[in-house]
Amino acid sequence: MKTDFGEHEFLRWNSQPALLECGTWNTIELQIKMNAPDQSNGEVRCSLNQKEGLVLKNICFRKTENLKIDQLLFSCFMGGDDPSYAPSSYQFLLFKNFAVEY
Domain span at residue 51?
A: 2-85
Write down the pLDDT at residue 44. 94
Residue 50 lies in a domain: yes
Residue 72 lies in a domain: yes
Residue 46 lies in a domain: yes
Residue 91 lies in a domain: no
40 vs 77 pLDDT, higher one:
40
Residue 30 lies in a domain: yes
Residue 92 lies in a domain: no
Instruction: Kindly state the average pLDDT of the residues 93-99.
Output: 87
**How many C-alpha atoms does 77 have within 13 Å on its Cβ side?**
8
Instruction: Kindly state the average pLDDT of the residues 24-48.
Output: 94
Q: Is 85 helix (H, G, I), strand (E, B) or coil?
A: helix
> How many domains does the chain fold into?
1
Residue 90 lies in a domain: no
Calculate the CA dihedral of residues 12, 13, 17, 23 and round it to 10 degrees. -110
Give residue-wise pLDDT tens across range 73-82: 877 777 778 8
**Predicted model pTM:** 0.76
